[in-house]
Structure 1
Amino acid sequence: MEHSPSLLLSNHRSLWLFVIIVLKALIPSFIQKWSKKQKLKLPPGPKPWPMVGNLPEMLANKPAHRWIHNLMKQMNTEIACIRLGNTYVIPVTCPTIARQFLSEHDATFASRSLTTCTDLVTSGYLTTILVPFGDQWKKMKKILTTALLSSQKHLWLHDRRTEEADNLIFYVYNKSKTVNNGVAAGLVNIRSVARHYCGNVIRKIVFGTRYFGKGRKDGGPSFEEKEHVDSIFVLLKYVYAFSISDYIPCLRRLDLDGHQKKVKEALKVIKKYHDPIVEGRVKQWNDLPKIEEEDWLDILISLKDANNNPLLTLEEINAQIVEIMIAAVDNPSNAFEWALAEMINQPNLLQRAIEELDSVVGNERLVQESDIPKLNFVKACAREAFRLHPMAPFNPPHVSISDTTVGNYFIPKGSHVILSRRELGRNPKVWNEPLQFKPERHLKCDNGSNVVLTEPNLRFVSFSTGRRGCPGVTLGTTMTVMLFARLLHGFTWTAPPNVSKINLVESNDDLNLAEPLMAVAKPRCIMYASLASSECTLFQIQ
């Protein structure tokens, strides 16, 4: 069938009319978006090199976190943009801007970065904290919040936590009576004690055991527990370290900075202890008709999907347990070590904490979790340690899932937003005398009523906030306050002999004390329940 020339001309006119209408509708929107991107600038930052960005400067100025903070101070900015490879890294030191990222734009910045070390630790992103936004994250977060960290489960495991708080006192009491290699009795490595208390608590909650081996009669860690906790801290050191391989993916196989090797070695140690327990427990659940749940591992194994099949694979269980261990041991132990160092140098703070504890608890029993709401000054000391001496320089990266605007700056899709724990807590616009350890500032902020360790306004970072906020606030708070309260109530603490003042110097590589805190412990007049016998003996040191 042939069409007449007039009909063809009419069709062409209709087509062109349609195109013109569409263009008229789309062009203004395109121009508006294009002009908006042209007007909005990236946050200020150093001029990047082609291809590699600012990686040369980062590698020449290790550690990277000090370089970033010094750079921001030189530029007099509280938000910056540093291009590493093709990745925009956006550090933030201002609470107001931080809240915009994690509150107003929380959904946009709810993902995580993909790194070689997080891939290894999570067994290919099977967990929660370190996993990008998506179905796996939603699945695992729901399990954490409802199956493991509910208020009911917290109460269920109360006795397990109390056992480890009792063991803490028992172990330090034994250390206070021991003379080693001619060193005066009572000299205690606070870093070791605090880290192993946290390790004991989380092992008891997850596996139902303090020890992987035979254990020790004095309540202290054996070789197995030392190796386990040390390996966890290796993972913490490298999981979000600034690695060149993460910004130039073609170099990942080369492992130029050695991070992958160290993470693999640490994981090998951890799995040596975890895997036999997990596999043995799975076999028990498969072989026996009914097993009563006794710990988190039992819960993870017993979870079922809609078809009554196991909800989690063995790989998911193992990976999630590793991540739980990482999340539990660092903040409480670091906070107590720094806080005690500061308080030994300011004896009036130690005295005030002891007076509060004696007033609330007395001197004939040990601190219990039920006392926590009334221990406001002790909690203020913990808050101040989180503020002034955070465990890590930055929180885990929040990755933008789309282009957006924050604080009148253009933030491209894929940017890594990192909140500076160190500088948020030391921001002079927010905190008076920011470099001074002054717990009383938190009593004023909270009017002295039920001080809490959370900080939703991001004036410092404890448990973060938003979709990526820590779901274990109750457990983390309990572990932290019990560590502080038991050791401050149970012992007097002084500097070692011939040391007039604790040296409060940070390590060159991280934010830990440069040297583990050594302090002399003297038992106070308190009823000590010895775990070695059923008797209670009253010890009093004059």
Structure 2
Amino acid sequence: MAFTDLLILFLALLFLRFWWRYWSVTGGGPKNLPPGPAGWPIVGNLGQVILQHRHFVFTVRDHLRAKYGPIFTMQMGQRTLVIVTSSELIHEALVQRGPTFASRPEDSPIRLLFSVGKCAINSAEYGPLWRTLRRNFVTELINPARVKQCSWIRKWALENHMKRLRREASEKGFVEVLSNCRLTICSVLICLCFGAKISEDEIKKIESVLKDVMLITLPKLPDFFPVLTPLFRKQLRQAKALRNKQLECLVPLVRKRKAFVESGGNGGPEMASPVGAAYIDSLFGLDAPGRGKLGEEELVTLCSEAINAGTDTSATTLEWALLHLVLDQEIQEKLYKEIVEHVGKDGLVTESDVEKMSYLGAVVKETFRRHPPGHFVLSHAVTEETKLGGYTIPENASVEFYTAWVAEDPALWDDPGKFRPERFLVGDGVDVDVTGTRGVKMLPFGAGRRICPAQTLGTLHVLLSLARMVHAFKWLPVPGAPPSPAETFAFTVVMKYPLKAVILPRV
């Protein structure tokens, strides 16, 4: 072999060696990143994750967390991910040092399209715009007076829900839990956002479009290799088409509501909430820092965010709760007896009733613990380079908090794999702070500055829906087709085989 060939081979091997060292994250070194799995040249750990043929959530849960411990790093293409799994470090980052970890990483062109350049509560960077949007949301949608004022919406939606369950059971012999719960929760949130009572067909159309929006904004290859974004023009065209479809669904509701507000409350029967009672009413005149008055695209984004965030998480929680009630009739009977003690066999369960039902609260908390709606909270980013657990967190890194593990940790919970609501009445769940403020044992809503602002409203929807369904029906497995607790990922961790159940009217 000629000297020139040997030189070229040597330089190529040297180049690959440097690439390997650069993309292999082993902790320490000049960057002092947390340790983690060695990556491949250029792609880092991305290729290894893809070859698992499983969603990243399950790879972290079943393999990486146990191997690399409370904090580790993964190099996913051009993105550095710092993954935090321990109760202590999650509490330190999100609660004790909340402002430092409160921002968001850069978004892909597709997510920027749907958020109108991060003009949304979940995606906005930590700063004046985020504060204004979140403060307005809390003040106008989930303050106790507004929740009470809009109780008729939940009453209306749940009446339709019960009728639909009876009709479906009569026609099929069973009911499909998730699809029915999604439709009902979505109808509640559409009415809360737009003050409108719309047809079931319209609700289904909006729900389907918004579900597609959630799925198309999940991380894809260009998120990890922004340099390759121009090669994915087809994906961007598909996203733009879906965005247009989203606008076509919701802009008419925006315009109808605006006309209703400007007319002083004169409008058709579709506008059911009085002026000032719908979330969007507060957005029409909002002066958003750096944005000014919000346009139709921003209004659609903010209302879609509220509907999407509440629909999927609440409906999924109801499905998991009913799975356990179907599998354990003793728990179901105990819950039914508590409901009857408060409202009688023929009474109507109200919002004030569910607040007094301790066992109902325990069932819902145990469902949140065993099946948190998100195993990770949404991606965080630090506002400046900092340290956590003795390691450096770079300013441009995505910090991912794997919060599901703390609810499975045997050091924090007795027999954590067992569904046992009683633990929240007498045992290791008593006085657990689900907000994580006093300490982290379970975080169904996240924690710190970015905690879900609608946690109380979402919990109310789950409590009231579950109580109504158990009060009206006995839930049983479909004969010959027992339900499976197998999981899959669809924005949240859901049942791989959607729950079907036989319902028998209570007598």
Quote the sequence identity (%): 24
**Counterpart AA for 2:323:** A
TM (normalized to structure 2)? 0.84
Q: Classify the secondary structure of the residue corresponding to 2:337.
A: helix
Aligned to 2:222: 245
1:95-106 to structure 2, matched below 5 A, reads 95-106=87-98
1:342–1:311 CA distance, 2 compared to 1 (3 A): same
Distance in 1 of aligned mates of 2:505 and 2:363: 21
1:346-384 deviations in Å (ceiling 9; x for gaps): 111111111111112211211100012211211221112
- The total of aligned residue pairs comes to 467
Q: Residue 321 of structure 1: CA displacement?
A: 0.7
Q: Residue 90 of structure 1: CA displacement?
A: 1.7
Aligned to 2:209: 231
Q: Residue 260 of structure 1: CA displacement?
A: 4.9
Contact 1:45 1:82 in 2 (8 A): yes
Aligned to 2:33: 42
**For 1:205, which of 185, 189, 192 is the aligned residue?**
192
Q: Classify the secondary structure of the residue corresponding to 1:422.
A: helix
Distance in 1 of aligned mates of 2:309 and 2:502: 29
- The answer to which of 440-449 and 151-160 deviates more is 440-449
Distance in 2 of aligned mates of 1:89 and 1:474: 31
- The answer to which of 323-332 and 382-391 deviates more is 382-391
Aligned to 1:467: 449
Q: Residue 313 of structure 1: CA displacement?
A: 2.9
1:138-182 deviations in Å (ceiling 9; x for gaps): 221121122332222222212222221222223223333x234xx
Distance in 2 of aligned mates of 1:173 and 1:347: 21
1:317-349 deviations in Å (ceiling 9; x for gaps): 121111111111011111111111122111111
**Counterpart AA for 1:505:** A
Distance in 2 of aligned mates of 1:344 and 1:519: 8
**For 2:245, which of 262, 266, 269 is the aligned residue?**
269
Q: Classify the secondary structure of the residue corresponding to 1:417.
A: strand
Aligned to 2:484: 503
1:453-495 deviations in Å (ceiling 9; x for gaps): 6554332222222111111122112111111111111110001
Contact 2:366 2:420 in 1 (8 A): yes
Aligned to 2:371: 389
Distance in 1 of aligned mates of 2:227 and 2:368: 38
Q: Classify the secondary structure of the residue corresponding to 2:404.
A: helix
Q: Classify the secondary structure of the residue corresponding to 2:446.
A: coil
Gaps of 5+ in 2: 1-27, 267-273
Q: 1:79 and 2:60 equivalent?
A: no
Distance in 2 of aligned mates of 1:69 and 1:488: 33
- The answer to which of 138-147 and 42-51 deviates more is 42-51
Aligned to 1:366: 348
Contact 1:86 1:247 in 2 (8 A): yes
Distance in 2 of aligned mates of 1:494 and 1:453: 30
1:348–1:106 CA distance, 2 compared to 1 (3 A): same
Distance in 1 of aligned mates of 2:134 and 2:489: 35
Q: Residue 520 of structure 1: CA displacement?
A: 0.7
Distance in 2 of aligned mates of 1:459 and 1:370: 28
4+ long deviations beyond 6 Å: 37-40, 446-449
Q: Classify the secondary structure of the residue corresponding to 1:191.
A: helix
**Counterpart AA for 2:185:** C
Q: 1:415 and 2:393 equivalent?
A: no
**Counterpart AA for 2:229:** R
Q: Residue 40 of structure 1: CA displacement?
A: 8.4
Distance in 1 of aligned mates of 2:264 and 2:161: 37
1:446–1:281 CA distance, 2 compared to 1 (3 A): same
Q: Residue 261 of structure 1: CA displacement?
A: 5.9
**For 1:152, which of 145, 155, 163 is the aligned residue?**
145
Distance in 2 of aligned mates of 1:96 and 1:443: 25
Distance in 1 of aligned mates of 2:260 and 2:486: 50
**Counterpart AA for 2:81:** V
**Counterpart AA for 1:112:** R
Contact 2:434 2:441 in 1 (8 A): no
Aligned to 2:178: 191
Distance in 2 of aligned mates of 1:460 and 1:393: 11
Distance in 1 of aligned mates of 2:155 and 2:489: 36
Aligned to 2:135: 142
Alignment RMSD (CA, Å) = 2.8
1:268-287 to structure 2, matched below 5 A, reads 268-286=244-262
Contact 1:379 1:453 in 2 (8 A): no
Distance in 2 of aligned mates of 1:429 and 1:237: 35
Q: 1:334 and 2:334 equivalent?
A: no
Aligned to 1:179: 171
**Counterpart AA for 2:247:** K
1:50-82 deviations in Å (ceiling 9; x for gaps): 443222222322422223334424524122111
Distance in 1 of aligned mates of 2:298 and 2:117: 10
Gaps of 5+ in 1: 1-36, 216-220, 526-542
Distance in 1 of aligned mates of 2:72 and 2:259: 52
1:494–1:262 CA distance, 2 compared to 1 (3 A): farther
